[in-house]
Structure 1
Amino acid sequence: MFAAALLSAANASAQCTGDGVQLYPAPGGIVPTNMRILLEGVGTAKSPVLGLVGKPLKLVSTDHEVKLKVTKGWESSLGRATVILKLAEPMQPDKRYFLNLQEVLPNIALLNGQVGAQPSWLSGKGPDAKAPKWVKRPAVSEGFVRRSPQGIARFVKLNLALREESPAFLVVKLSPRRLGISPQQYLLPVQGNTAYLGHEACGGAFSLEDGRSYRARIEAFDAAGNLAPSTPPVDFEAPSAQGP
């Protein structure tokens, strides 16, 4: 069983995100011309984001537009949902493309972008056709529990390494090591060589029960949707809120 560990990165993961949307890859970066955009709705923004499925969106540069098809991605029972925005054609190289979210999600906060600015990305030199390669397969290094007036945050830290230039993401199918309980499946962004699996005090991606044993089946993909080779499942015990 993992001891509670209060690390600076873990503390940041434990804080409540608040209501709004997050975009992956994060706005402002350089992306392959064939990227996919992952749009996550958190809290009260979950339902409006799910409501975008099937609706037309577009990326716009000074002299080029790219239509986006919105498809369903993943949904968490803890107040989150992610949809996938697929490009109808590649972006042109070396151009800045803007996404007008306020047109379809008025008055909803962007949680990982510049306040008051339209989210945008700079297209790179071309498409990304290479799948990520595992350098270090995922493994749980530690777990932590943090109490606050809002409740209990509980996470495990996944250490991993991928050979990949664009941002990488995980889709985790999490099953309790006990029959009769449905698995959870959701998205985790990779931050450096780390991903945090669990929940904040007021919501999150995955529900973890105190001390329960789990098996995580993990898929990794890059910003263009290229899948990494399959990797063995990861078994772990959720950290316990019970002190020693």
Structure 2
Amino acid sequence: MFVAALLSAATASAQCTGDGVQLYPSPGGIVPTNMRLLLEGVGTARSPVLALVGKPLKLVASDHEVTLKVTKGWESTLGRAVIILKPSEPMQPDKRYTLRLGEVLPNVPILNGQPGAQPSWLSGKGPDTKAPKWVKRPAVSEGFVRRSPQGIARFVKLNLALREESPAFLVVKLSPRRLGISPQQYLLPVQSNTAYLGHEACGGAFALEDGRSYRARIEAFDAAGNLAPSTPPVDFEAPSAKGP
């Protein structure tokens, strides 16, 4: 059963995401009142998302509005970009807030939201002021390669012993263990203390070369932007697509 679960997760990570946007924390959940949002543009939505930097957005409840300051986050070399939406004030507790994304990104699908609905979140009882804590240092547990008609997907699985109640995220600075190659830096969401670092056949967060050695410097933070203490870098080799 354990092996089947790993294969299922690996297959899901290897599938092509498609064009559109993703929001973190994912829409529909309960979030701290000082939540900040991360908006990712994938494929053709990358440039429209980056064009929102500097433009005001709003989270709207029935009797309250929160203005969001939009700043640049991170860019992937594989057709993705993330911007940060920082609230000017906390949300009020126990209210549903909607981000009117369709007004600024019309006809752009939300890949991790409800079809046809504007993304919304339910504010919790108060702010999140506690930073995540590492229980033990992160480590790569396995790598996998998947071939498809679109190309090759290549990932490594990061095991993360991170103590945090609200959604958690990583920013990874990935450097090849060879001089003269620029590092990559991008966002990874954390699910069940696991994150997948790599790329799909048709895009993704990080480009991994077949069998190359890498060093990943990992920074963890929560939905409110509270930073975890620093942790030692993780060294690994990208999985190889070469058969026996």
Partner of 1:28: 28
- 1:237 corresponds to 2:237: yes
Partner of 1:100: 100
Partner of 2:144: 144
- 1:243 Cα shift? 1.1
Partner of 1:128: 128
Within 5 A, what are the aligned runs for 1:1-244?
7-244=7-244
Tell me which amino acid in the other structure corresponds to 1:13: S
- 1:122 Cα shift? 0.3
- 1:135 Cα shift? 1.5
Distance 2:88 2:49 in 1: 20
Does the Cα contact within 8 Å between 1:6 and 1:146 map onto a contact in 2? no
Distance 1:14 1:175 in 2: 22
Q: In structure 1, the residue corresponding to 2:75 is in which secondary structure?
A: strand
Distance 1:73 1:35 in 2: 16
Tell me which amino acid in the other structure corresponds to 2:84: I
Distance 2:232 2:85 in 1: 29
Q: Which has the higher contact order (CA 8 A, sep 6+)?
A: 1
Tell me which amino acid in the other structure corresponds to 2:137: R
Deviating beyond 4 angstroms after TM superposition, the runs of 4 or more aligned structure 1 residues are none
Distance 2:8 2:122 in 1: 31
Q: In structure 1, the residue corresponding to 2:171 is in which secondary structure?
A: strand
Q: In structure 1, the residue corresponding to 2:179 is in which secondary structure?
A: coil
Does the Cα contact within 8 Å between 1:137 and 1:231 map onto a contact in 2? yes
- 1:160 Cα shift? 0.8
Tell me which amino acid in the other structure corresponds to 1:28: G
Moved more, 161-170 or 16-25: 161-170
Distance 2:24 2:10 in 1: 20
- 5+ long unaligned stretches in structure 2: none
Distance 2:164 2:235 in 1: 25
Does the Cα contact within 8 Å between 1:31 and 1:166 map onto a contact in 2? yes
Distance 2:135 2:49 in 1: 34
Tell me which amino acid in the other structure corresponds to 1:142: E
Distance 1:113 1:137 in 2: 32
Distance 2:137 2:36 in 1: 24
1:66-103 deviation line (CA, Å, top 9, x unaligned): 00000000000100000000000000000000001110
Tell me which amino acid in the other structure corresponds to 2:160: L
Tell me which amino acid in the other structure corresponds to 2:37: I
- 1:6 Cα shift? 7.0
1:3-22 deviation line (CA, Å, top 9, x unaligned): xx971001000000000000
Aligned identity (percent) is 90
Let me know the Cα RMSD of the aligned residues: 1.0
Distance 2:6 2:138 in 1: 21
Q: In structure 2, the residue corresponding to 1:7 is in which secondary structure?
A: helix
Q: In structure 1, the residue corresponding to 2:173 is in which secondary structure?
A: strand
Q: In structure 1, the residue corresponding to 2:219 is in which secondary structure?
A: strand
Normalised to the residue count of structure 1, the TM-score between the two structures is 0.97
- 1:107 Cα shift? 0.4
- 1:137 Cα shift? 2.0
* Distance verdict in 2 for CA 1:184–1:64, change over 3 Å: same
